[in-house]
Amino acid sequence: MLMLLLGVVAAIIGGAGVMSRHEPVDRPKGQYDIPLTLTGNGSYVQSVQIEPFIELKYKHIVRQAFDFSCGSAALVTILNYHLGVMVNEQQAMEGMLEKGEKDKIIERRGFSLLDMKRYVGSLGLSGAGFKAEIKDLMTLDEPAIVPIDYAGSKHFVVLRGIRDGVVYIADPSAGNIVFSVEEFSHWWDKNTLFIISPAKGQKPVGQLALNDRELGAVDMDRVTGKGRQDALSSTALQLMRAVNSGAAGTWMHRN
């Protein structure tokens, strides 16, 4: 009798488990349902969107295809994600070879700001190089290509903006990274920047603009008083910290 009663109870419990099971349903890529418990034993399911680290790290960046093509990748990053002019890196390289100083490009295995200026002019856009100071960059309201010199090599990156003492960079090689103002001042080569203006009547898409949602996803453990970052003594450590900053491991937000 006791065995029979236990069997009935087990069947009821097992049946309840089967009845309460949720059948799997298709969801958009990256969307997950997280069950949450409310005060008073209530519960609900919160849908969240999670972006993988690698996608966030290179969000709105054209990654350079070759070790010498940082200039063309930085240029196409601004064309695609700031101006909405959709060309790929191969097209930009071919265009700069055609419009620029081909022999010099081949000799130095890279593109100059003058090559970029001539190429964007052929697209109906206006490009210009400037000399500037850090204080000028702090009021800049559009992205710019800047040359930096670290680890003994020249490299073109996109300056997205500066906020609270942190310089936000879109690097065609390393992805979204950050420097302190002091660090960037050290790397910035000859205080030069290159700005591309849209064609008359064209409105930028502005996808490189800084937004509040991403500003907390930096290496904040080293940010102190008013955004100032403590200096690192080792060049290798500075570069490692920059490459590993600019994005959290995952980026979760509500739908």
Task: Specify the long-range contacts of residues 6-12, CB closer than 8 Å, at least 24 apart.
Answer: none
- Residue 188 backbone dihedrals phi, psi, to 5 degrees: -60, 125
Q: How many CB atoms lie within 10 A of CB 134?
A: 14
Asked about 70 being catalytic, the answer comes back as yes
Q: In the Cβ-directed half-sphere of 164, how many Cα atoms lie within 13 Å?
A: 13
Q: Alpha carbon of 165 to those of 89, 138, 154, 169: distances in Å? A: 32, 9, 24, 13
**What angle is formed at CA 148 by the lines to CA 246 and CA 179, rounded to 5 degrees?**
30
> Which amino acid, one-letter code, is at 54?
I
Name, in order, each residue with C-beta under 8 angstroms of 96's C-beta and a sequence gap of 6 or more.
72, 105, 111, 115, 116, 118, 119
Q: E strands, the chain, where?
A: 31-37, 43-51, 126-131, 144-150, 153-163, 166-171, 175-180, 192-197, 223-224, 228-229, 251-254
Q: Which of 56, 61, 62, 70 is catalytic?
A: 70
- Known catalytic residues are 70
